[in-house]
Structure 1
Amino acid sequence: MTERQKGVIAMDRTLYIYSRLAAGKPVTKRELADRFGVSERTIQRDFRDIRDLLAEERPEWGLDRTLVLNKDDGTITIQPPIVSSFTSSEAYTIAKILFESRSLTKKELDTLLRKLEDCCFPLSDRKRMRDLILNEQALYVEPRHHQELIHRLWEMGRMVAQQQVLEMEYRRHSDGRTVRRLVKPVGILSDSYYFYILAYFDEQDEVATRKQVRQKFPIGYRLDRIVAFRPVGRHFEAPYAKRFKEGEFRKRVQFMFTGDLTEVSFWCASSALEAVLDRLPTARVVKQDKDGEGAWVSAEVYGEQGVSMWLKSQGSLVKKIKFKKK
C-alpha cells in the first residue's frame, strides 16, 4: 500500500469519527479500533486531529468545543455538541412557555419536548430536565379543537412569505357555518391558546364589501377553523415600506379584537402600572400623580373592544377610560 493510499484511508477514518461525534453520538477508542482494524494509539491520533480542528473553528462558532472523556464508561463526545443545542435552563424555559401557551395537541407537544431533551446540554442534565417536566407533561390539557397545526402553520407561513392570494374555507364562530374567503395573508400571531392568520380581503372576494377591502387593518382568522386553503395562483404586492409588520400589530391588538387605530387614555393605580405597561407595549405614562397613588396612561391600540375588556377586568385599579380614533 502506497503512502498516498494510507493517507486517504486515515482521512476517511478521521472523517467517519468526526461525523459520528458531530451527530452527538458517543464513541470509544476500543470500538473504533476494532471497526478499522487499527490500534487504539492510532485512534488517539485521530482524536488529536479532531481536537485541533475544533480549536481552529472556535472563532467561527464562538464556542469552546473540545472532546470530553466520560470516565464512567469510556465514551468520548464533543462538548458542547455540534448539533443544535440548548443549555438546560434554556430548554426548561422553552418547555414552560410551550406548556403555558396550550396551543398544541398533546402529541405535537410531546414530540417537541422530546427533541428539546435531546438538544439539552450538558448531557448530565437531560434526566433532570425530564424529571422537571414529567408531571406537567402528563397533566397537559390540549385545546378543544384537537387539531395538529404545526405542519399547517408552516405551510401558511410559506404563503405569507410568498405573498400568495389564498382561497380558504373558514368555519365561523358565530354560527358554525363554513364560508369561502379570498384573502391576502400578511402575518401569523399566537394569542390566548390559538394561532391566527392575519389577512386582508382580496378585491375579487365575492362577499367582501368595498369598505372591507379598503380597511387599513387585517382580520384575524383562527388557524384551527380554516377547513381548507389553497393558493389561487396570484400574488399580491406589498412594497417594503408598507409591508405589514406582525410585531407592530401585536403591540396594538388585545385578544385578537381588531378595529381602527385608536388612542386609549386612562388613570391607573401605581400597584397595577407595571402590569398595564407590560400588557400594552405602546403605553406610556403621560403624567404621574403628585401623591404617587397612580398615573395617567396613553396607548395606541386597534379597536376598542379587546383593550376595554382587559382594562375593565382590572376593577378599581383602572378608571376613566377614554377612546379617540386616530
Structure 2
Amino acid sequence: MIIINKEDLAKSLRVVSIFERLHKGEILNKAEEAKRFGVSEKAIQRDIKDLRSYFTDTSNYDANIRLIYDRKQKGYRLEREDGSWLTQEEILAISKVLLESRSFNEEEMNQLLHKLILQAAPVEKKHIKEVIRNERFHYNPVKHSENLFAIIWDLSQAVREKRFVEIDYLKATSSTIKKRRLRPVGIIFSEFYFYLIAYISNSDLDFPIVYRLDRIKAYEIQDDRFKMPYSERFEEGEFRKRVQFMYTGKLMKIKFKFGGRSIEAVLDRLPTAEIIGQEDKKYIVEAEVYGQGIKMWLLSQAEYLEIIEPISFRNEVRETIQKMIENYQ
C-alpha cells in the first residue's frame, strides 16, 4: 500500500494549479500565490524553480517555452520563443474569419471561439472578447444547424486512406434521399459550406461531383479501398482555382472581354485567368474553369463582360440572358 504524504499532495496540487494557470497565459505574483495557498513565498519560489527545470528539460516539454519573470507585470509568465503559438493578433483575426464564415452552428462556433481565446493572456482575452462581442451576439449561422466536426474528420480519413464511402444524400431540389457509393478525393470549404469532392463509383462521368456535407444524412466508410494513380491524384488547390460556387461540370477554357472597374477583382475570383490583350479599352481574358458555376459568375458581371469563346458557351449564356429578359416583359 502506498501512503501519500499530505504535504507532498498539497505541493503537487499547488504546482499543477500554477502550471495550468501559466498555460492559460496568466501572470502569477509570488506573494499573491503564497497567500492563495497559505504557504511561504519560499515555497512558491521552489515551485517556480521546479517548473523552470521541467520546461528546460526538452525531453519533458516544448523546448521553445520558458518560464520568465516579467518586471513590468511584476509576475511570472510563460514566454514562447518562436512562432509556434498563436499571437493575440492572430487569435483575433481567426475569430473574425470564423464568425464571418457562418459555417458552424452556434454550439460548434462557441466551442471553437472559447478554445481559441483560451490561448490568449488574460488582458488580451478581455480585449478579444470585447472586439467580437457584437458579432458573436448577432451571429447568424447558416440554416442547416448540423454538427460538422465529426463528419469532416471521418470523411477526411476516408480521403487520406482512399476508402469507398456510401452516403445517403438529399439534394436541395429533391425530397427523396439518394444512396451513392463514392470514391472521395477531397474536402473543401467555400462560401458558407463544407463540401465532399468525390467520383461516383461505376459511373462514366470523368469529373468529380460536389456534395454538401450538411446534406449527407448518413454515411458509412467502407473497408475496401480504391486505387488512384499518382499522376491522376486530385488536388484541392487546383480544383478550387477552376470552380465557382461549387458547381462542377466539364473543364473548359473560356475567353471573354471585361470592361468593368476592377480587373484585379476578376483575377482574384478566377485564379487561372490571364490577361492576353486589350481591345476598345477592354481587357481580353482567358481562364480554365468548370462549366456550371462560372456561368453564374459571368452573368453577375452584367454589361461589363462579354463571352467570346467557346461559341457554344456564348450561345448558352445568350439564351439564359434572353430568358431573364422575358421575366421582365
Smaller-chain TM-score range?
Answer: 0.7 to 0.9
> Residues 66 and 223 of structure 1: is their aligned pair in 2 closer, same or farther, counting only changes over 3 Å?
same
Residues 55-88 of structure 1: per-residue CA shift (max 9 Å, x gap): 797xx9796844244877x652212499974222
User: Following the alignment from structure 1 to structure 2, what is the Cα–Cα distance between the partners of residues 123 and 63?
Assistant: 21
TM-score by length of 1: 0.79
TM-score by length of 2: 0.78
Correspondence for 1:269: 259
Aligned with 1:244 (options 234, 238, 250) = 234
Ranges in structure 2 where 5+ consecutive residues have no aligned partner: 1-11, 313-329
Paired residues in the alignment total 301
Aligned with 1:296 (options 281, 284, 297) = 284
User: Following the alignment from structure 1 to structure 2, what is the Cα–Cα distance between the partners of residues 81 and 125?
Assistant: 18
Q: Is the 8 A contact 1:277 1:283 kept in 2?
A: yes
Correspondence for 2:299: 312
Letter in 1 for 2:295: S
User: How many Å apart are 1:23 and its aligned residue?
Assistant: 3.3
Letter in 2 for 1:130: K
User: How many Å apart are 1:164 and its aligned residue?
Assistant: 0.9
Ranges in structure 1 where 5+ consecutive residues have no aligned partner: 1-11, 204-212
Letter in 2 for 1:90: E
User: Following the alignment from structure 1 to structure 2, what is the Cα–Cα distance between the partners of residues 13 and 150?
Assistant: 34
Aligned with 1:224 (options 209, 214, 225) = 214
Q: Is the 8 A contact 1:83 1:119 kept in 2?
A: no
Q: Secondary structure at the match of 2:131?
A: helix
Letter in 1 for 2:127: R
Indicate yes or no: 2:169 matched with 1:181.
no
Q: Is the 8 A contact 2:57 2:63 kept in 1?
A: no
Q: Secondary structure at the match of 2:156?
A: helix
Percent identity over the alignment? 37
Q: Secondary structure at the match of 1:217?
A: coil
Q: Secondary structure at the match of 1:298?
A: strand
Q: Is the 8 A contact 1:24 1:81 kept in 2?
A: no
Q: Is the 8 A contact 1:84 1:119 kept in 2?
A: no
Q: Is the 8 A contact 1:24 1:78 kept in 2?
A: no
Letter in 1 for 2:289: V
Moved more, 237-246 or 81-90: 81-90
> Residues 61 and 314 of structure 1: is their aligned pair in 2 closer, same or farther, counting only changes over 3 Å?
farther
Correspondence for 2:316: none
How do residues 114-125 of structure 1 correspond to structure 2 at under 5 angstroms? 114-120=114-120, 122-125=121-124
Aligned with 1:214 (options 204, 212, 220) = 204
CA-based RMSD of the aligned residues comes to 3.6
User: Following the alignment from structure 2 to structure 1, what is the Cα–Cα distance between the partners of residues 89 and 38?
Assistant: 42
Correspondence for 1:139: 138
> Residues 20 and 105 of structure 1: is their aligned pair in 2 closer, same or farther, counting only changes over 3 Å?
closer
Moved more, 37-46 or 192-201: 37-46
User: Following the alignment from structure 1 to structure 2, what is the Cα–Cα distance between the partners of residues 61 and 31?
Assistant: 27
Residues 146-203 of structure 1: per-residue CA shift (max 9 Å, x gap): 1111121111111111111011111122222101111111101112211111110112
User: Following the alignment from structure 2 to structure 1, what is the Cα–Cα distance between the partners of residues 18 and 245?
Assistant: 50
User: Following the alignment from structure 2 to structure 1, what is the Cα–Cα distance between the partners of residues 226 and 197?
Assistant: 14
How do residues 1-326 of structure 1 correspond to structure 2 at under 5 angstroms? 19-20=19-20, 23-24=23-24, 26=26, 27-29=28-30, 40-41=41-42, 43-44=44-45, 47=48, 65-69=66-70, 75-80=75-80, 85-120=85-120, 122-203=121-202, 213-269=203-259, 271-289=261-279, 293-303=281-291, 305-323=292-310
> Residues 324 and 316 of structure 1: is their aligned pair in 2 closer, same or farther, counting only changes over 3 Å?
closer
> Residues 114 and 14 of structure 1: is their aligned pair in 2 closer, same or farther, counting only changes over 3 Å?
closer
User: Following the alignment from structure 1 to structure 2, what is the Cα–Cα distance between the partners of residues 195 and 235?
Assistant: 23
User: Following the alignment from structure 1 to structure 2, what is the Cα–Cα distance between the partners of residues 296 and 220?
Assistant: 30
User: Following the alignment from structure 2 to structure 1, what is the Cα–Cα distance between the partners of residues 18 and 130?
Assistant: 32
> Residues 321 and 313 of structure 1: is their aligned pair in 2 closer, same or farther, counting only changes over 3 Å?
farther
User: How many Å apart are 1:105 and its aligned residue?
Assistant: 0.5
Moved more, 44-53 or 153-162: 44-53
Letter in 1 for 2:110: D
User: Following the alignment from structure 1 to structure 2, what is the Cα–Cα distance between the partners of residues 133 and 318?
Assistant: 38
Q: Is the 8 A contact 1:263 1:324 kept in 2?
A: no
Q: Is the 8 A contact 2:164 2:183 kept in 1?
A: yes
> Residues 286 and 165 of structure 1: is their aligned pair in 2 closer, same or farther, counting only changes over 3 Å?
same
Correspondence for 1:8: none
User: Following the alignment from structure 2 to structure 1, what is the Cα–Cα distance between the partners of residues 311 and 262?
Assistant: 23
